Amino acid sequence: MTLHWPEAACAAPDSNFAEAARARQGMLTKPPGSLGGLEAAAIQLAELQHSAEPAVDRVWISVFAGDHGVAAEGVSAFPQAVTGEMVRNFATGGAAISVLARELGATLDVVNLGTVNDPGDIPGVTRRIIAPCTANLCEAPAMTPEQLDVALAAGAASVAQARAAGAQLFIGGEMGIANTTAATALACALLRVAPIELAGAGTGLDDAGIARKVAVVERALALHRDVGAMDDPAASREYLRRLGGFEIAALTGAFVAAAQAGLPVLVDGFITTAAALAAVRINPGARAWLLFGHRSHERGHGRLLEALDAQPLLHLGLRLGEASGAATAVPVLRVACALHNRMATFAQAGVSTA
Ligand X SMILES: O=C(O)c1cccnc1
> Mapping DSSP to helix (H, G, I), strand (E, B) and coil, where does residue 201 land?
coil
d(CA 303, CA 307): 6
Supply the minimum distance, in Å, between the C-beta of residue 168 and ligand RBZ. 25
In b/e form, how buried is each residue of 246-276, taking b as 16+ CB within 10 angstroms?
bbbbbbbbbbbbbbbbbbbbbbbbbbbbbbb
Supply the minimum distance, in Å, between the C-beta of residue 65 and ligand X. 13
d(CA 45, CA 111): 27
Does residue 41 contact residue 35 with C-beta atoms inside 8 Å? no
Q: Is 317 exposed, middle or buried (0-12, 13-18, 19+ CB in 10 A)?
A: exposed
174 forms part of the interface with ligand RBZ (CB under 6 A):
yes
Given candidates 150, 175, 220, 259, which one binds ligand RBZ under the rule CB under 6 A?
Answer: 175
178 forms part of the interface with ligand RBZ (CB under 6 A):
yes
Nearer to ligand RBZ, 74 or 228 (CB): 74
Supply the minimum distance, in Å, between the C-beta of residue 113 and ligand RBZ. 13
322 forms part of the interface with ligand RBZ (CB under 6 A):
yes
199 forms part of the interface with ligand RBZ (CB under 6 A):
no
d(CA 156, CA 134): 20
272 forms part of the interface with ligand RBZ (CB under 6 A):
no
Given candidates 6, 195, 269, 293, which one binds ligand X under the rule CB under 6 A?
Answer: 269
Residue tagged active-site, from 47, 238, 298, 322: 322
Supply the minimum distance, in Å, between the C-beta of residue 78 and ligand RBZ. 4
252 forms part of the interface with ligand RBZ (CB under 6 A):
no
Residue 72, Cβ neighbours under 10 Å: how many? 14
**Which of 49-57, 71-79, 102-110, 275-283 is the region at the interface with ligand RBZ (rule: CB under 6 A)?**
71-79
319 forms part of the interface with ligand X (CB under 6 A):
yes
d(CA 289, CA 101): 22
Nearer to ligand X, 213 or 224 (CB): 213
Q: With CB cut-offs between 5 and 8 Å by kind, which of ligand X, ligand RBZ, none does residue 86 bind?
A: ligand RBZ
Query: What does R_g of the chain's alpha carbons equal in angstroms?
Result: 20
Say what angle helices 233-243 and 246-261 make with each other, to 10 degrees.
140
Nearer to ligand X, 157 or 271 (CB): 271
**Would you give the binding string for ligand X spanning residues 174-203, x where CB under 6 A is met?**
------x---------------------xx
Supply the minimum distance, in Å, between the C-beta of residue 73 and ligand RBZ. 11
76 forms part of the interface with ligand RBZ (CB under 6 A):
yes
**Which of 63-71, 80-88, 247-255, 266-274 is the region at the interface with ligand X (rule: CB under 6 A)?**
266-274
Given candidates 69, 114, 245, 321, which one binds ligand X under the rule CB under 6 A?
Answer: 321
Nearer to ligand X, 235 or 280 (CB): 280
Distance of CA 254 to the CA centre of its chain: 9
Q: Is 75 exposed, middle or buried (0-12, 13-18, 19+ CB in 10 A)?
A: buried
Residue 174 annotated in active site: no
CA atoms within 13 A on the CB side of 308: 32
List all residues 6 or more positions away from 327 whose beta carbon is below 8 Å from its beta carbon. Answer: 59, 61, 97, 100, 101, 104, 106, 171, 173, 268, 293
d(CA 153, CA 111): 12
d(CA 322, CA 144): 25
Q: Which residues bind ligand RBZ (CB under 6 A)?
A: 76-78, 82, 86, 174-181, 202-203, 320-322
Which residues of the shown chain bind ligand X in the complex (CB under 6 A)?
Answer: 180, 202-203, 268-271, 296, 298, 301, 319-321
- Catalytically annotated residues: 322
